[in-house]
Amino acid sequence: NAGVTQTPKFRVLKTGQSMTLLCAQDMNHEYMYWYRQDPGMGLRLIHYSVGEGTTAKGEVPDGYNVSRLKKQNFLLGLESAAPSQTSVYFCASSYRAVYRKLFFGSGTQLSVL
Amino acid sequence: QQPVQSPQAVILREGEDAVINCSSSKALYSVHWYRQKHGEAPVFLMILLKGGEQKGHEKISASFNEKKQQSSLYLTASQLSYSGTYFCGTEISWEETSGSRLTFGEGTQLTVNP
């Protein structure tokens, strides 16, 4: 039982390049989330999904796109990376319940030069 | 809107108590608490719902004052393992089919020294 797995763990991009971060969970969770964490700013919600085929915007969605084609996977895409997107990205998942515990992945350190 | 946490940082000696506060300018449906150790992912501590009771274990508990839109996390007789950054997350509403936007504060860095 792996929980929430994020790939890759580290990545360096040049400005303008694109990439996709993959999040996979094996707990049959309905909800999935993408957060970014910057020093002194806590966790900010980028996008989230309440089920397969559905996505919604969070607090800071600009510059990112997401897809949830399969229940267990939630992809975060950067079409044209900018230095402001240098951050640690966390994926999380939870059951669809009012008392829900978010399980976080180990994070992806992304640097955009 | 991001909740406000206070204090930003606190240093304790082992065995001392601490209180971390979380406040919002909007009426809240729920408050969530997480702890993150350096270089690791956040880990769930507890969730408090509007109208619910104080939650927690013997040494880590929390309260939720709906009228003031505030929550407090209480750490009693702190241990070295309590060190880390504590985040509160808030949501103003929740519906099963539409989910929610759980918004986190900037965190409170807690250091427990021997």
Phi-psi region at B52: left, alpha or beta (left = phi > 0; alpha = psi -120 to 50):
beta
Burial status of residue B111 (CB atoms within 10 A of its CB: 0-12, 13-18, 19 or more): middle
Instruction: Summarize chain A as % helix, strand, coil (round to 5).
Output: 5, 50, 45
pLDDT in tens, A17-28: 999 999 999 999
Q: Is the pLDDT of residue A81 over 70?
A: yes
In this structure, are residues A67 and A51 in contact, taking their beta carbons and an 8 Å threshold? no
Mean pLDDT of chain A: 93
pLDDT in tens, B79-96: 999 999 999 999 887 777
d(CA A108, CA B5): 25
Look-up of token digits 């406040």:
B23
d(CA B65, CA B72): 9
Q: Is the pLDDT of residue B58 over 90?
A: no
Nearest CA-CA distance, residue A12 and chain B, Å: 18
Closest listed residue to residue A107, CA positions, set A76, A61, A63? A76
**Torsion angle of C-alpha atoms A56, A62, A64, A69, degrees rounded to 10:** 20
Name the residue type at position B105.
G
Q: Is the pLDDT of residue B68 over 80?
A: yes
Closest listed residue to residue A102, CA positions, set A113, A92, A112? A92
pLDDT in tens, A13-61: 999 999 999 999 999 999 999 999 998 778 999 999 999 999 999 999 9
CB contact A101 to B (< 8 Å):
yes
Helix ranges (DSSP H) in A36-106: none
* Number of Cβ within a 10 Å radius of residue B38: 8
CB contact A59 to B (< 8 Å):
yes
CB contact A61 to B (< 8 Å):
no
Of A41, A49, A98, the CB nearest to B106: A41
Find, in chain A, the residue whose alpha carbon is nearest to that of B9: A40
* Number of Cβ within a 10 Å radius of residue A44: 17
Tokens of B39: 């270089």
CB contact B106 to A (< 8 Å):
yes
Size of interface A-B (CB pairs under 8 A): 59
CB–CB contact B104 A42 (8 Å): yes
d(CA A22, CA A35): 13
Nearest CA-CA distance, residue B16 and chain A, Å: 25
